Structure 1
Amino acid sequence: MKARSFPLLALALLAACGDGADARRTAGGGAADGPEVPEAQRFGGTGVVALGADITDMNPLTSADNNANNIQSFVLFTPVVALNEKLEPVPALARSWELNADSTELTFHLRNDIRWQDGRKTTAYDLKLAYDLAREKETGYPNSSFWTYYGDAAAPDSFTFRVRLRPHAEYMDPWRTFFAVPSHIFKDAKPAELRSHPFNTQRPVGNGPFRFVSRAPGQNWVFAANPDYPAELGGRPYLDRLIVRVIPEAATRLTELLNGTVDYYVQVTPEQLPQLEASRNARLVTFRNRSYAMVVWNQKREMFQDARVRRALTMAINKRGIIDGILRGHGEVAHSSIPNIYWMADSTAGRGIADYDPARAAALLDSAGWTDRNRDGVRENAQGKPFRFTLKTNTGNRERADLTEVIQSDLAKVGVDARIQIVEFGTLISQLNNVRERPFEAVVMGWVSEFKIDDENLFSCRRLDEPYQWPQYCNPRTTALLDTLPRIVDREQARPLWREYQRLIAQDQPYTFLYFQERLEGVSNRMRNVHPDARGDLVGISKWYLLPNGRARQGGGG
């Protein structure tokens, strides 16, 4: 049987982003990158990245937040493959790969010069262990649907990894965000105990361009340049050290960016744009992102089990007003989980189903049995239970706090009483992922779509007892479509089924999809070569550098 070797097949490329990932623009009082600095002068200094919440788990097998994945992908680990600016897979841990003639076996040939930071070589046995653990249900690997069409794997030698699969579209996509783990650390680990492993928060051992140095919980993560990182993968980073600081208050993050103690502020809040754009010390970098904001309705709670009620709640929320008011126009209305920049997106999916219409929202609530029976301004059901619930979101995110207040106000106008509760980010994620209890009613949250759209983890009936099935939503037809769509390689054949899927989601509203947001990042003018895009906030970080005359700090950054 003849094998064939080729790049990614039928990747769900962005449809409207020019050459793919590069959709950024720069604004602000300072220049973007300015004159080139000779490479020999780029090495040195400490870069500081500011986040609004701590990363509570650095283990790629168990972590479940986007900031952790950014650091795993571009700082601490080496993924099996990477994506270039055209969103094509390129070698990383795997120097090459091949699919056999009948598309049932994928073979990766790994590099032999990537080492864990404790000195041991990264091997196919490490990758096989990570793969096997990720497929164990007790591990709780968040992206378990990655492996729906994959089977058993083998490591026939130290640098060959082979895995069985059923033919399907976009089969390479999981490997851009999947990592080996050190088998000498995890070989005796039990899947059910991985979430509490010391590796996660105390001593992660990576094999990427930076090495873990230390962590102060709630304060920072510190990394140092890996001097032995292979030249073919970029070699030693320009920065000597990288500090990821936790700064809960957005105003403080901006102040520190403007005064030079922070170099990169992830996710600037829209109300800060005028101040940032007027600064001569920092600049704004934006790009079209893969993320959306939504309200998760927990269907374990009786009040959210009726799709009419969920549609009514959506119709009561003024999404365009939110985009214009809170985001200052940096967003697009969302009606499904598929960003408008993807080829299969149907911009009409929510038309007539989930449009802003408070009058129709009120009528739907009436038809579902929720009326204001005692004239107190809050609807009750037939048993007299008021339509009152707790609406949670996370600390350290002004945008979500503002968003939650607007939603509260909009819902009050149709007789629904949402009580806001702000929860520490790690605690909220734990509540969302608590498969036994799901101890929440409704949550304002964000989600970052994969390049391969596969919502099985989010909405399949079979995933109700897995971490990401937050809404506890089950529609057999939706599940059937989620089973079918990944197997269709031909886009024209898949398109009508994608359209049906999006309209079903708009009809059922497991989430209220609010908007797709343009990503806003603040960058110090002393930091150069910073070009985030749809691949992630920290893409290319090994090539970020500080201007030679800008490496002295005013204090606080390291």
Structure 2
Amino acid sequence: MKQRSLSLLALALLAACGGGNDAARPKGGGQAADEPSVPEQQRYGGTIVIGAIGAIPDMNPLTSTDHTANQVQQFVLFMPLVTYNDKMEPVPRLARSWEVNADTTALTFHLRDDVFWHDGKKTTAYDVKYSYDMARTPETGFPNTAFWTHYKDATVVDSFTIRIGMEPHADFMDSWRSFAPVPRHVLEGTAPAQIRNHPFSTRSPVGNGPFRFVEHVPQQRWVFEANPNFPRELGGRPYADRLVYRVIPEPTTLQTELLNGNIDYYIAPTAEQADAIERSPNARVVSFPDRQFLMLGWNERREMFKDVRVRQALTMAIDREAIVKAVRRGYGQLGNTTIPPIFWNHDPQAGAELRYDTAGARRLLAEAGWQDRNRDGVLENAQGQPFRFTLMTNQGNAERKDITEIVQAQLKRVGVDVRPQLSEWGTMLDRINDVERRDFDAVLVAWVTEFRIDDTDLFSCSKMNSPYQWVSYCNPETDRLLDTLPRIVDREASRPVWQQYQRQIARDQPYTILYFTTRLEGVHERLRNVDPDARGDWVGIDRWYLLPTMRNR
């Protein structure tokens, strides 16, 4: 998800540095230990095939809610104004430079003048202003509205200069890392509410990045080709001639396709598959600590989830450590809040009281009025309604399917009847994003936080009718903390407030956060210079290349 994505700090990451390093490396990194450096002129050519279980529903940066779509927008098809280097510091991309005024109330970007949309028109500040204005227009449905909480109107100074007003706030550059402007000349005149339905979203996206759109077959593939006019200062033409993103809903098939050489890059193999991939002479595993966490969302529009004691009890009744060991084979770290353990502001004590404790869970449920009144093994409330709900997750993800079944078994021990339900990815997104209905009981879903943590879209009372406020959680104290945190620019001064915030979320348990993932990628031996990290699965993809002696397409 985007969420998802969803959200810049100079992090002390444990991950490998991304992109560009051609030194010999042991198996598990971007290069094989016995592989000599390939001269640059020999790196050009071939088709890189990427496989994953999920379809990318659309490619519109203004409306898409899918995390993989956001990755493609950042690194493949479009160009955000800035990107992050391997130290997680903003560096130029579409913007050649930028500056802020003395009181940090205006941010000015100076754009490159050599970037063209793939239909031949030059990218200008007018495109950036149009995109920014549309992203701030509620009718457009831009999902990450928290990006702009402290931003104001934009002014085009000249064709390659834009100035945006803002309130002083922490880590203000982060939004520009993942927000990709769109071509004004393609979308202008479309009503904001209809932008998501424009052919640009699914049939004819026009980007300005290192690769350009070729084809989209829904539920099957996206195809991109190298942009020969990409600025040399930014790397020039990508090494690969083409990228093909294939949708392969079955993880076992994905593994087989990787080991047989039919795909070159398998996004997020299961932990169970990691050993088999590493043992193969044809492939390797790259891993890094991620910003993604897996969580169970309790829809507070459902009466049974409105009581905080119930939500706390559900968390205490789930053995999350056992899930990490059984399903992730240890490739994960428990979490109780939305702040990844690799971030400077993570509070390891938040939620410590919600350890696995079935007896404590039963006591809390009893306090909330849930008892097994008819001795059938399922709790009922005072009206005799059983504690029974459907837990939805997306089909095709074996790990998530396994987790729903484990949660079902564990909650049964405390008298809660869970009915797992698998749903097609796009259908599930529609159900949880529909602000009118929110037609679900509970959902197992992943979230990828942004580097600048702003959970307003997830938790703010003011966002009840926005796409990501899935569980309809509202607490004025949480709102106060969400409003305060971005205004404290000094990290040390903000640290105790971050602690208060995380402990508040842990007490309220709008979600049961199962774990933060150690991200895995399966890489075929012919694909080189691949070093993903917490920035994303696709980071540096324009510098990935196929060994000339092993290209078969």
Q: TM-score, with normalisation over the residues of structure 2?
A: 0.96
Q: Aligned partners of 1:329 and 1:359: how far apart in 2?
A: 26
CA distance in 1, matches of 2:473, 2:254: 37
* Aligned-pair CA distance for 1:185: 0.9
Q: Is the 8 A contact 2:205 2:213 kept in 1?
A: yes
Report % sequence identity. Answer: 59
Q: CA deviation at 1:491?
A: 1.3
Instruction: Report the CA distance shift for 1:485/1:441 in structure 2 as closer, same or farther (over 3 A).
Output: same
Given that residues 33 and 529 in structure 1 are in contact (C-alpha distance below 8 angstroms), is that contact kept between their aligned partners in structure 2? no
Structure 1 residue 198 displacement after superposition? 1.0
CA separation of 1:440 and 1:32: change in aligned 2, threshold 3 A: farther
Q: 1:49–1:62: structure 2 CA closer, same or farther, 3 Å change rule?
A: same
Change (3 A) 1:453 1:25: farther
Q: Which amino acid aligns with 2:67?
A: N
CA contact (8 A) 1:21 1:87 kept: no
Q: State the Cα distance separating 1:25 from its structure 2 match.
A: 8.5
Q: Which letter maps to 1:345?
A: H
Q: 1:419 to 1:526 in 2, by over 3 A?
A: same
CA drift of 1:14 comes to 2.3
**Contact map agreement 1:26 1:286 (CA 8 A) in 2:** no
User: Contact between 1:25 and 1:287, CA under 8 Å: does it hold in 2?
Assistant: no
Aligned twin of 1:414? 414
1:550 is aligned to: 550
Q: Which residue of 2 aligns with 1:14?
A: 11
Within 5 Å, give how 1:157-236 maps onto structure 2. Answer: 157-236=158-237
Query: Residue type matched to 2:502 in 1?
Result: Q
Specify whether residues 33 and 130 from structure 1 end up closer, same or farther in structure 2 by C-alpha distance, changes over 3 A only. farther
Q: 1:126-183: per-residue Cα shift (whole Å, max 9, x none)?
A: 0000000000111111110111100000112111111000111111110001111111
For 2:485, the equivalent position in structure 1 comes to 485
CA positional deviation for 1:550: 1.0
Q: Name 1:5's counterpart in structure 2.
A: none
How far off is 1:40 after superposition? 0.4
2:116 & 2:57 partners in 1: Cα distance?
25
The aligned counterpart of 1:4 is none
SS of 2:275's equivalent in the other structure is helix
Q: 1:32 to 1:467 in 2, by over 3 A?
A: farther
Question: Deviation string for 1:250-285 (max 9, x for gaps)?
Answer: 000000000000000000101112211110000000
In structure 2, stretches of 5+ residues that fail to align are: 1-7, 20-24
Distance across 2 between alignment mates of 1:194 and 1:405: 39
Alpha-carbon distance change, 33 to 409 in structure 1, aligned in 2, over 3 angstroms: farther
Classify 1:250/1:545 alpha carbon distance in 2 versus 1 (closer, same or farther; 3 Å). same
CA RMSD in angstroms, aligned pairs only: 1.6
Q: Does 2:25 correspond to 1:27?
A: no
Residue 26 of structure 1, CA deviation: 4.9
Deviating runs (4+, > 6 A) in structure 1?
18-22
Q: Is the CA contact (8 Å cut-off) linking 2:9 and 2:89 kept in structure 1?
A: no
SS at match of 1:27: coil
Q: Is the 8 A contact 1:25 1:285 kept in 2?
A: no
More divergent stretch after superposition (428-437 vs 217-226): 428-437
Query: Contact 2:125–2:158 (CA<8 Å) still a contact in 1?
Result: yes
Q: Which amino acid aligns with 2:531?
A: H
Query: Which residue identity does 1:295 align to in structure 2?
Result: L
Amino acid across the alignment from 2:137:
E
Taking a change above 3 Å as real, the CA distance of residues 546 and 452 of structure 1, as seen in their structure-2 partners, is same
Partner of 1:124: 125
- Does the Cα contact within 8 Å between 1:32 and 1:525 map onto a contact in 2? no
**Distance (whole Å) between structure 2 residues aligned to residue 26 and residue 119 of structure 1:** 42
**In 2, distance between residues paired with 1:17 and 1:100?**
34
Instruction: Classify the secondary structure of the residue corresponding to 2:209.
Output: coil
The residue type paired with residue 320 of structure 1 is E
Alignment of 1:274-285 (within 5 A): 274-285=275-286
* Corresponding residue of 1:141: 142
Structure 1 gaps, min length 5: 1-10, 554-558
Contact 1:20–1:87 (CA under 8 A) maintained in structure 2: no
8 A contact 1:44–1:238 mirrored in 2: yes
Say if 1:386 and 1:276 are closer, same or farther in 2 by CA, change over 3 A: same
Q: Distance in 2 between matches of 1:98 and 1:298?
A: 43
Deviations for 1:421-442, whole angstroms, at most 9, x for unmatched residues?
A: 1000011111111111101110
Q: CA shift at 1:65, angstroms?
A: 1.3
**Structure-to-structure mapping, 1:365-384, within 5 angstroms:** 365-384=365-384
1:396-475 → structure 2 map (5 Å cutoff): 396-475=396-475
Partner residue in 2 for 1:91: 92
Answer whether contact 2:15 2:534 (CA < 8 A) is retained: no
Aligned equivalents of 2:182, 2:507: Cα separation in 1: 41
1:59-70 map, 5 Å: 59-70=60-71
- Take 1:311 and 1:378, find their aligned partners in 2: how far apart are those partners? 18
Q: Deviations over 1:224-254 (max 9, x none)?
A: 0000000111110000000000000000000
Letter paired with 1:396: G
Q: Distance in 1 between matches of 2:393 and 2:223?
A: 28
Specify whether residues 387 and 25 from structure 1 end up closer, same or farther in structure 2 by C-alpha distance, changes over 3 A only.
Answer: farther
Counterparts of 1:343-358 in structure 2 under 5 Å?
343-352=344-353, 354-358=354-358
Normalized against structure 1, the TM-score is what?
0.95
